[in-house]
Amino acid sequence: MEDKNPLSPHIQIYSWHISSLISISHRITGIVNITIITLICFWVAFLFLGNSNYEIIQNFFGTYFGKFIIIGTVWSFSFQILSEIRHLFWDLGLGFELKISNITGLLVIFGSFVLTILIFTLGRSLIL
């Protein structure tokens, strides 16, 4: 059966606003996050290979690139958390006014960096 649903306009059609930037970033970080979670699943699988093989992973996380990946992961998840909270408020019918929507959009962008710093600082001080 032929689908009569209209397609969304492709992203190059839009002129850029905070709302479109957040919307597209929300989708991109969503795909990045599930890729990261899949890598974390492989990380769990790697534990099965034993202590001697695990040194490869530990050495990787000891490098600057490894740390960059972890900080990038925290930022990507932080962005998704704040953007998802913004969506949940919209679902309750709150925050649709243009001015409020722009303010919450900016809060998501800047808040994601603040949350990244907070999680990294507090998380590193946690003792397992």
Partner 1 sequence: MINATKKWIFLKISSVMLVPLMLWFLFNLVSFYDKAYDEILLFFTSQPTKFLFSLFIIFAYFYSALSISEVFEDYIENEKMKNVANKLLYLFAIIIPISTLFLLYKLSL
Burial class (CB in 10 A: 0-12, 13-18, 19+), 126: exposed
Site for partner 1 in 6-25 (CB under 8 A): 7-8, 10
Rounded to the nearest whole angstrom, what is the least distance from the CB of residue 6 to partner 1 in the complex?
A: 9
Q: Are 104 and 89 in contact (CB under 8 A)?
A: yes
End-to-end alpha carbon distance in the chain: 56
Q: Applying CB under 8 A, does 61 fall inside the site for partner 1?
A: yes
Which of 23, 33, 101, 102 contacts partner 1 by CB under 8 A?
33
Spatial separation of the C-alpha atoms in residues 90 and 12, rounded to whole Å: 25
Q: Which stretch binds partner 1 (CB under 8 A): 3-11, 14-22, 93-101, 102-110?
A: 3-11
Token digits of residue 80: 């998704």
Nearest to 116 by CA among 82, 89, 88: 82
Q: Applying CB under 8 A, does 34 fall inside the site for partner 1?
A: yes
Chain length of the chain: 128
Binding site for partner 1 (CB under 8 A): 1-3, 5, 7-8, 10, 27, 30-31, 33-34, 37-38, 40-41, 44-45, 47-48, 50-51, 54-55, 58, 61-62, 66, 70, 73-74, 77-78, 80-81, 84-85, 87-88, 91, 119-120, 122-124, 126-128
